[in-house]
């Protein structure tokens, strides 16, 4: 069915394919961390995840906890898988950290164990992290 589709703009020769695989192999976790645009803060905050589409907001609601957060995104742990590429609204627990309601796209989701999925989100608008991070870190809120 799809075998007969030949688009010359998307085909790779052997050398190009090998170069891409070599580049992909260099993407270690440490290298990815170094390429991040924003400083990441390791912090545990309760977060409620809902569908970003207002017509579907009441159909999907799950609570999780963040692992880290930056101006441009966050990671979190959830009891069910989160759809990569989908848009979500994230409501952070204001009693822990004063963060705004945020809309984000899920950029990755991986199985940690049978009842836990780690998901990464890219915010549509950068957020401002509170200036009192040091005070909250000393009080033991940060992990």
pLDDT at residue 25 in the model:
67
On whether the CB atoms of residues 143 and 42 are closer than 8 A, the answer is: yes
Q: What is the DSSP string of 87-114?
A: EEEEEE-TTT-----EEEEEEEEEEEET
Q: For 16-55, give the DSSP string.
A: HHHHHHHHHHT--HHHHHHT-SS--EE---EEEEEESSGG
Q: Among the ranges 85-99, 105-119, 127-141, which has the highest mean pLDDT value?
A: 105-119
Q: What residues does each domain of the chain span?
A: 39-138
Instruction: Map residue 73 onto helix, strand or coil.
Output: strand
* 39-138 fold: Thrombin, subunit H (2.40.10)
**pLDDT band with cut points at 50, 70 and 90 for residue 100:** confident
Per the model's pLDDT, the better-predicted residue between 98 and 24 turns out to be 98
CA angle 82, 85, 87 (to 5 degrees): 75
CA atoms within 13 A on the CB side of 126: 10
Q: Are 15 and 23 in contact (CB under 8 A)?
A: no
- For residue 18, give the H/E element and its range: helix 14-25
Residue 26: what pLDDT? Answer: 64
19 in Cβ contact with 12 (< 8 Å):
no
Q: Average model confidence (pLDDT) for the chain?
A: 77
Asked whether the predicted pLDDT for residue 38 surpasses 90, the reply is no
Whether 10 has a pLDDT exceeding 70, the answer reads no
pLDDT at 142 (0 to 100):
42
Check residues 143 and 29 and name the one with the higher pLDDT.
Answer: 29
Residue 138 has pLDDT above 50, yes or no: no
CA distance 137 to 143: 8
């Amino acid at each position: 069915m799809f075998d007969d589709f030949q688009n010359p703009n998307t085909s790779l020769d052997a050398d190009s394919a090998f170069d891409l695989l070599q580049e992909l192999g260099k993407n270690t976790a440490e290298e990815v961390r170094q390429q991040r645009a924003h400083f990441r803060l390791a912090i545990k905050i309760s977060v409620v995840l809902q569908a970003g589409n207002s017509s579907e907001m009441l159909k999907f609601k799950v609570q999780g906890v963040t692992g880290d957060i930056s101006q441009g995104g966050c990671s979190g742990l959830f009891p069910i898988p989160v759809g990569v590429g989908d848009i979500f609204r994230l409501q952070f627990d204001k009693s822990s950290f004063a963060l705004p309601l945020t809309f984000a796209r899920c950029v990755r989701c991986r199985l940690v164990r049978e009842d836990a999925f780690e998901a990464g989100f890219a915010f549509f608008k950068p957020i401002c992290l509170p200036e009192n991070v040091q005070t909250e870190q000393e009080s033991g809120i940060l992990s």
